Amino acid sequence: MVDLGSNTIRLSAYNVLDNGDFDLLFSEKEMAGIVNYINEEGLLSRDGIDKACAVLAGFRTLLGHFGMSEMHVFATASLRNIRNTDEAVHLIRRRTGLTVDVISGETEAKLGYYGAMLKNDMRTGAMFDIGGGSTEILECRDGEIEQAQSLAVGSLNLFNECVSKIWPKKEELKAIIRRVEEALESADLPEERAERACGIGGTARAVLKISNAYFGKDAENRVILPEEMQEITELLCKRNDQARKLIVFTRGGLLFAFNFGSERALLSLPISGLESGDYDILLSTDSGEYGGFERIDAPFSIDESGLLRGALSERTAVALKRKEKA
The CATH class, in words, for 2-102 is alpha beta
Alpha carbon 6 to its chain centroid, in Å, reads 10
Cα-flanking dihedrals φ and ψ of residue 71, to 5°?
-145, 115
Residue 243's nearest CA partner among 254, 231, 252, 255 is 231
The answer to whether the 2-102 and 105-200 domains have the same CATH topology is yes
Q: What percent of the chain has pLDDT over 90?
A: 56
pLDDT in tens, 232-254: 888 777 654 555 677 888 887 88
pLDDT value of position 246: 75
pLDDT in tens, 65-113: 999 989 999 999 999 999 999 999 999 999 999 999 999 999 999 999 9
pLDDT value of position 134: 94
Alpha carbon distance 59, 46 (integer Å): 20
The CATH number given to 105-200 is: 3.30.420.150
Residues in the chain: 326
Q: Where are the domains of the chain?
A: 2-102, 105-200, 242-322
The CATH number given to 242-322 is: 2.60.40.1180
Alpha carbon distance 227, 211 (integer Å): 11
pLDDT in tens, 121-142: 888 999 999 999 999 999 999 9
pLDDT value of position 273: 67
Residue 64 Cα distances to 22, 30, 59, 68, angstroms = 20, 18, 9, 5
313, 259 contact by CB (below 8 A): yes
Alpha carbon distance 319, 281 (integer Å): 6
Interstrand relation of 100-102 and 73-75 (parallel, antiparallel or unpaired)? parallel
DSSP secondary structure code for residue 289 in this structure: G
Which amino acid type is present at position 68?
A: M
Question: In what side-by-side order are the strands of the sheet with 246-251?
Answer: 246-251, 254-259, 316-322, 277-284, 300-302, 307-312, 265-270
The residues, ordered by sequence, that sit 6+ positions from 122 with a Cβ below 8 Å of its Cβ are 116, 140, 196, 198
255, 248 contact by CB (below 8 A): yes
pTM (2 d.p.): 0.73
Alpha carbon distance 87, 229 (integer Å): 41
Work out the number of other CB atoms within 10 angstroms of the CB of residue 253.
10
Work out the number of other CB atoms within 10 angstroms of the CB of residue 233.
10
pLDDT lower than 70: segments of the chain: 238-244, 270, 272-273, 297, 325-326
pLDDT value of position 107: 96
Taking the chain, what is the end-to-end CA distance rounded to the nearest angstrom? 33
